[in-house]
Structure 1
Amino acid sequence: MEYTHLSEFRIRDGELSLWTPALSSPDAWYDDERPLASVHAQYLGFLDPDDPRPGRGRWIGTVFEMDAPLDQRAWARTLELWHDRHEGFRTTVAPTRDGDYHRVTTAPGTVRVTAAVVPDLVDGELINEFLCETLELRLSPLTWPHLLVATVAHDTDDFTVLVGADHSVLDAYSQAVLILELRTLYCAVTTGGEIRDSATFGSPADYAAIERAAAEELTPDSPAVAVWREFLGAPGSPMPRFAAGQVAELAGEHAQPSLSRTLLTLEELEEVEDVLDRIKHRLSVTVFAALATASREVFGDDRFRTVMPIATRPDLTWLESMGWFVNVVPVDITLPPGADMSAALDATRAALKRAHVCNDASWGRSLAMVGAMEGPTFGASFLDIRMLPDYELVADLRGRTLRAVSYSTEEVYFWVVRGPDGLYVSTRYPAGLPDPVMDRFLTEFARAMYAVTTIAAPAAAAASTETASAALSAG
């Protein structure tokens, strides 16, 4: 599933409707004593309450084509049931007297969803532009609803669905699984089928209470804090940068370039995976080893540091939840001098194992304890999309996960995906980074990945030599 901008998705012509949640009563909100997750609280601390475009650079979402005609009443009911099921969509924040925020929540059955047709707008390209603008203006971390749904009804027996949300109520896993969940719900509503309940739709607020309790137990002597301290270096040191020193300062504000590229075709990837099976290494380790190797080839540094987002759904209770279940861990790889991919894999596996101690430790609290002056600016993640249920059907529905356009002058992120047709990468980077630098990096990244296929060659050659020697001796 490609991770891209909405502007890069072709929306077909049709009738556009916006579906907005609203409370059946303004008194439905109640104060909720459960805390915000650490990442949520930290996120709110960087916001400007007066920002006229609160969704700019922040919203995430999903777009797909529902393989059924649009029934307005049934779709509204589907979205209401969806809000009933997921408490994360029925919770928001309110300011406290000390300038902080606390949680407020509304009960199931209190959310109604209404549609508003956008008149005189049927051209797909113009609809796309309108939606990009609308999501920036209407999605806010501070104002409920934090989620907006749009549909485009076509003159065929299907319709396009866009779900846009503030990051505080949606994460990357939620973005991927919501497609089939909405499809299943809509099918049940239109056919009178059973609406499935499950113990796996756990509340993000319940998770937040667990996460905050664990965060409070961190101390400067905690093993996770020690790993972050080694990653950062001296207190106050800057966070690792991608292509440090090669990003030009540009006047004014510029959207970050975004690109997606196939790293390995399916045939090439299967060659790599065949070797990995024999040498007992995982594809996820290989991705980060190849990133480190490419960094050495392009930037000349044997030490590669980045952060890796990880899912923090602690058990099956939250398997199907909608929410923000993400932590960040440091990846710190030092390649031995002259290391080939075999040595790079060993070094990377050790580095990722070392980072495991940070999995359940709040990254924000850990960084505060080591004296960090800023948050991460360089990140990379890997996902094998085949782990998602019915991933092939998602592709048939033209499913895409979306991110907002970023205007950062420093941030660089890589999303690497193992899909059904190969290995591909999406990235965004500062406008001041020359395109040829990123092009060369991605070329070296792909080359390092495929270099895995040569690892088994020396062993095979040695075995062949031994066989030949034995034959000569026997002769």
Structure 2
Amino acid sequence: MEYTHLSEFEIRSGALSMWTPELAAGAWQPDDRPLTSVHTGYCASVDPTDPLPGRGRWIGTVFEMDAPLDGPTWRETLRRWHARHEGLRTTVTPASADEPRRLVAAPTAVDIAEQPVAGCTDGTRINEFLSGTLEERLSPLVWPHCLAATVEHADTGDFTVLVAADHSVMDAYAQAILILELRTLYREVMAGEASRESVTFGSAADFAVLERASAAELGPDSPAVATWREFLADGAMPRFAPQAQRPARAELAQPSVSRRLLDLTELEQVEAVLDQVRHRMSVAVFAALAVANQQRFGADRMRTVMPIATRPDLRWMESMGWFVNVVPVDIALTPGVGIAGAMDLARAALRRSRTANDASWSRVLDLLDVAETPRFGISFLDIRVLPGYELVADLRGRTLRAESYSTDEVFLWVVRAADGLYVSTRYPAGFPAEVMDEFLTAFGQALSSITAAVHADGEGRAGQPCAAVHAGGAADGLSPAVAQTPMPADARALRADTLRVAVQAG
């Protein structure tokens, strides 16, 4: 599954409709549960007068439903989806300068309105219309925070689905799982069946209660604060190859690059070697990026942040919401180190980052009096942990991010997909495209070299017995509490290690 821009997805021509959630007057009710720390700060960062509140902020998913479009059935599908997920029928209202207040609508209060878009049938024109609409209508301050669109393809008897949301109500994991959730709901409605009930559709607001309580316990002497303090010892968030940056106008959109680094045969060869030396692919990815950074830019140290999933219990396994934390990763390579040695160093760095797993990064930065937000981030996701990942590819499923206009941010998303290893990146318009191309090529070459390097090294340092560790997770990918929680029967298709998969926080 690629992580890309809507403009890079070829929408087939057809009949376009927007589907907008609606509420009856008086549906909003005050709710005493807080917002998460990051949600609170995010709302404070948004200008309520901005005519394009979604510009650079929205995220979403696009796929092709393998069934004809029936309007009433799709409307009921979306209604059930909003009724199921409290986060989709939640909004905020100003309570003070620093702390918005949560408002929640009842499951029965939501209806869905269809708005056909007449005269917009060409795929390219549809893409442009949707991009503009999402920038105008999606905001963390104004409900609805999630919109849907369909493009009916009468000639092929199917339809394209776009679901887009403000980041405050959706994260990368939710982007991926909603494809099969909506497909299942659509088929249930079409068959006249009741929707599946599950304990795994927990409320994002209940998670916020736990997150804020945990954040309140943090202090200057907390281990997570110490980890971040050391990471920021020079007083600034790390930048990607700052010596290669060139000035660029702020109105220029960031370039985006997506490519396959390893095909399935090459990837499986690398994974077989990693199994022998008991390293995970996440370790190999971060090691190869550090090696490429050293080779291309002469930097023996790669500092970056890593988004991780923070669904601490199975009750949030299938929830729609923003369950993401950010942890610091600091990989120091010795001069001339090979990829096998780099994997040992990367693994140690990822283990150090675990001290910050459950500590709200925005709260930590407040304690350290750091106002700057991350400028360089790396995310890794193994798509195979998602239920039905093979079908997602058949449905042309893509996770989407809005075009960014930052003049200094660089983010990389590495995905272990069904057919290989992919990387996507966005970087400033002033950063030379050929320099990024050379870096990504070096990254791919470092990954490819693992097979030969480990065999040449024999058992070597990389072959020492060790417990395999997910990036950003405990040795088994779970917190102790989750590891001891029985898997619900109706969630048996899901794997618990998704809870600690590193995902994009964009």
What is the TM-score normalised by the length of structure 2? 0.89
Query: Gapped runs of 5+ residues in structure 2?
Result: 461-506
Q: Which residue of 2 aligns with 1:319?
A: 317
Q: Which residue pairs with 1:37 in the alignment? A: 36
1:368–1:160 distance in 2 versus 1, CA, 3 Å = same
- C-alpha distance in 2 between matches for 1:343 and 1:99: 47
The aligned residue for residue 170 of structure 1 is: 170
Partner deviation per Cα, 1:408-440 (whole Å, 9 max, x = no partner): 001100000011111110000000000111011
- Any residues of structure 2 matched to 1:124-163 within 5 Å, and which? 124-155=123-154, 156-163=156-163
Q: Partner of 1:196: helix, strand, or coil?
A: coil
In structure 2, the CA distance between the partners of 1:251 and 1:182, relative to structure 1 (3 Å rule), is: closer
Residue in structure 2 matched with residue 50 of structure 1 by the alignment: 49
The structural deviation recorded for 1:100 is 3.6
Alignment correspondent of 1:200: 200
Q: What's the counterpart of residue 472 of structure 1?
A: none
Shift in CA distance, 460/335, structure 1 to aligned 2, threshold 3 Å: closer
For residue 65 of structure 1, give the secondary structure of its aligned residue in structure 2: strand
Aligned-residue offset at 1:194: 3.1
Look up the SS of the partner of 1:239 in the other structure: coil
Task: Say which is worse superposed, 327-336 or 263-272, in terms of deviation.
Answer: 263-272
Larger Rg: 1
Give the whole-Å Cα distance in 1 for the aligned partners of 2:331 and 2:382.
22
Separation in 1, partners of 2:80, 2:52: 29
Tell me, yes or no, if structure 1 residue 89 matches structure 2 residue 94.
Answer: no
Shift in Å, 1:21: 0.5
Which residue identity does 1:154 align to in structure 2? H
Alignment of 1:288 with 2:286, yes or no, is yes
The CA deviation at 1:269 is: 1.1
Partner of 2:420: 422
Q: Distance in 2 between matches of 1:113 and 1:371?
A: 44
1:106 counterpart residue number:
105
Q: Which residue of 1 aligns with 2:466?
A: none
- Deviation of residue 185 (structure 1)? 0.4
Alignment RMSD (CA, Å): 1.3
TM-fit CA distance, 1:264: 1.1
In structure 2, the partner of 1:338 is: 336
Q: Which of the numbers 230, 244, 249 marks the counterpart of 2:247? A: 249
Is the 8 Å Cα contact of residues 232 and 372 (structure 1) preserved in structure 2?
Answer: no
Separation (CA, whole Å) in 1 of partners of 2:85 and 2:4: 25
Distance 1:395 1:263 in 2: 18
Please give the alpha-carbon distance, in whole angstroms, between the structure 2 residues aligned to 1:181 and 1:173: 12
Distance in 2, Cα, partners of 1:27 & 1:460: 69
Report the AA paired with residue 140 of structure 1. S
Deviates more, 1:365-374 or 1:270-279: 365-374
- What is the identity, as a one-letter code, of the residue corresponding to 2:222? S
For 2:21, the aligned partner's letter is: P
For 2:434 and 2:295, how far apart are their aligned partners in 1?
14
For 1:469, the equivalent position in structure 2 comes to none
Deviations 1:380-406 (A, max 9, x none): 011111111111111111110000000
Structure-2 residue corresponding to 1:78: 77
Aligned mates of 1:270, 1:102 — CA distance in 2: 49
Q: 1:290 and 1:456, CA in 2 relative to 1: closer, same or farther beyond 3 A? A: closer
Indicate yes or no: 2:377 matched with 1:391. Answer: no
Distance 1:111 1:241 in 2: 44
- Letter of the aligned partner of 2:57 in structure 1? R
The size of the alignment, in residue pairs, is 459
Partner SS, residue 431 of structure 1: coil
Q: Which residue of 1 is the match for residue 304 of structure 2?
A: 306
Q: Contact 1:238–1:373 at 8 Å: present in 2 too?
A: no
Deviations 1:305-356 (A, max 9, x none): 0000000000100000000000000000111222111110111111100110
Q: What residue is the counterpart of 1:62 in the other structure?
A: 61
State the shift of 1:97 in Å: 4.2
Distance 1:251 1:199 in 2: 49
Residue 347 of structure 1 corresponds to which residue in structure 2? 345
Alignment check: 8 A CA contact 1:272 1:453 kept? yes
Which has the higher mean CA deviation after the structures are superposed, 81-90 or 331-340?
Answer: 331-340
**CA–CA separation in structure 2 for the residues paired with 1:243 and 1:444:** 14
Residue 322 of structure 1 aligns to a residue whose secondary structure is coil
Kindly state the Cα deviation for residue 461 of structure 1 after the two structures are TM-superposed. 11
Q: Distance in 2 between matches of 1:19 and 1:102?
A: 27
Partner of 2:18: 18
- Report the secondary structure of 2:434's partner residue: helix
Query: Aligned partners of 1:56, 1:68: CA distance in 2, in Å?
Result: 32
Question: Partner of 1:9 in structure 2?
Answer: 9
Alpha-carbon distance, 1:252 to partner: 4.8
TM-score in terms of structure 1 length: 0.95
CA distance, structure 1, for counterparts of residue 350 and residue 332 of structure 2: 12
Closer/same/farther in 2, CA of residues 368 and 82 from structure 1, 3 Å limit: same
- Aligned partners of 1:220, 1:69: CA distance in 2, in Å? 57
| Alignment match, 2:190 | 190
Runs of 4+ in 1 over 4 A off after TM superposition: 459-462
Aligned residue in 2 for 1:450 = 448
Return closer, same or farther for 1:97/1:233 CA change in 2, 3 Å cut-off.
closer
Contact 2:10 2:124 survives alignment (8 Å): yes
SS in 2 for 1:347: helix
Using the alignment, how far apart are the partners of 1:456 and 1:207 within structure 2?
43
SS, match of residue 244 in structure 2: coil
